[in-house]
Amino acid sequence: MMMNNPTMLSYIRREQPVLERLLSSYPRQITDALADTPQHPQHWLILATGSRINAANTARLYMQKTAALQVTVAAADLYLTYEEADPSVDVIIGISLTANDPTMLAAIKKARTNSNAHTIIITDQKDTALTEIADATCDLLTGKETVPYITLSFQAIVLTLMLLAVRSATDRNILTELAANQELDEFSFLIENMNLTVQRANDFYRKFTIDFTNAPQFTSIGANVLAGTLAEMQAKFTEILRVPTHGYSLASFTHGGFMGTHENHCQFYIEINTDPAVMAQLQAVKKYEARLTPHIYTISLTGDQPTVNDDQTLQLEAVTDPYKAPLLAIIPFQVLAWFIAKSRGINLNHPMYEDFQTAINLL
């Protein structure tokens, strides 16, 4: 589907229909991608760059749990320069959204030097040098995302990786067909709630426009299973709002991140259905931080009423599986980044420091 003058928000609003297409195309494309994988794969290597790394880390724990795999996520440039090719790798997955990606190409070639690993490329670009060297390709079905801050592609990558895990688990009898269908039904429910999540995030922004517009610093805090989501929030808010932003796992925040708190600090706490001890600690941290700053907000996917009725909770649809919660948890941050940028007068069509890449490439 082509759009005239698309914006970041246009792509956010396309997440539901595109992910519905991806899910409805299952298992055809996913089965083809895995057709020649080893019978007993144990170690998958995912190579990516930028937000694609965050997407891979968002899916990683779900993949390991669902398909009994060891999944390693590596930055392509770091892998190329410093890592040794591991002969135990059975499957290499390269994620790229560009037609010409020489670093990814070289990293994949290096990863294949000491193994016969099956290579899959996840991309929105067909007929590239990467797809030519790959054993299989997964089309994200997004088309090329023409704005510089990916949102739709991020979600499509996460779902594609999760579906690869479901199919691998089914092929190896780790999941029964009944259990696999249950996974697909749960994905369908989450995807059906994406547009509603966008609208609720929109309403939440409008309720606190002044606070969000004036905040000099943002932080998000959540359970370890949300590591990819937290990293992507940090990336999006830093790039788009151009103010200091951090995404902390709860453990990282309690081991030092809390030292950066100040009275104008805007904090987001993500509540999910996970280990009760983890959520109890999150509540304790939030209660403590509320003594230091009034700018405390909660994004809840638990289905429970807020512990503190402070009217500063964004209540989303309940997600029972914490490993799938990231599919909805990232959307409010995508929406907020867009609207806060608009309220601050930031023109996203005119990036700052346009000469930066040219300058550093000349060094």
User: Does 361 score more than 80 pLDDT?
Assistant: no
Backbone angles phi, psi at 73, to 5 degrees: -110, 130
The distance of Cα 256 from the centroid of its chain, to the nearest Å, equals: 24
pLDDT at 352: 80
Compute the C-alpha angle 60/41/133, nearest 5°.
85
What the block records as the tokens of 266 is: 């805007």
- Residue bearing the bigger pLDDT, 301 or 356: 301
247 pLDDT band, cuts 50/70/90, is very high
Q: Report the pLDDT averaged over residues 202-227.
A: 98
Task: Indicate the domain borders of the chain.
Answer: 8-192, 194-343
For residues 47 and 79, the answer to whether their CB atoms sit within 8 Å is yes
CA distances from 136 to 37, 46, 86, 94, 127 (A): 10, 14, 21, 11, 12
pLDDT for res 50 = 94
- Determine the pLDDT at residue 309: 64
In what side-by-side order are the strands of the sheet with 136-139?
A: 70-75, 43-48, 91-96, 118-123, 136-139
Q: What is the pLDDT of residues 303-323, one digit of tens each?
A: 988 766 678 999 999 999 999
Same fold across 8-192 and 194-343: yes
Rounded Cα gap, residues 175 and 177, in angstroms: 6
At residue 262, the pLDDT reads 95
- Alpha-carbon distance of 195 to 156, in angstroms, equals 15
- Whether residue 281 is predicted with pLDDT greater than 70 in this model: the reply is yes
- Architecture of the structural domain at 8-192: 3-Layer(aba) Sandwich (3.40)
The token duo for 213 is 């517009």
pLDDT tens, 190-214? 999 999 999 999 999 999 999 999 9
User: What CATH number was assigned to the domain covering residues 194-343?
Assistant: 3.40.50.10490
**Residue 89 corresponds to which tokens in the numbers above?**
């790798």
Radius of gyration of the chain (CA): 20
Q: What is the DSSP string of 3-38?
A: -SS--HHHHHHTHHHHHHHHHHTTTHHHHHHTTTS-
Q: Looking at the chain, how many residues does it have? A: 363
Contact criterion met (CB below 8 Å) for 226 and 325: yes
Distance CA 180, CA 125 (A): 29
pLDDT tens across 76-86, in order? 999 999 999 99
Q: What is the dihedral of CA 306, 283, 256, 220, to 10 degrees?
A: -20
Q: What is the pLDDT of residue 308?
A: 65
More confidently predicted of 307 and 260: 260
d(CA 247, CA 230): 4
pTM, two decimal places: 0.95
> Which residue did the predictor score with more confidence, 304 or 153?
153
Beta bridge partners of 92: 45, 119
Unique residue bearing structure tokens 């070639």: 109
Average pLDDT, the chain: 94
Q: Would you state the pLDDT for residue 362?
A: 57
- pLDDT reading at 168 higher than 80: yes
Percentage with pLDDT > 70 across the chain: 98
Calpha distance 59→71 (Å, rounded): 10
Q: How far apart are CA 251 and CA 104, in angstroms?
A: 32
User: What pLDDT is recorded for position 219?
Assistant: 98
Helix or strand (DSSP H, E) at 139:
strand 136-139
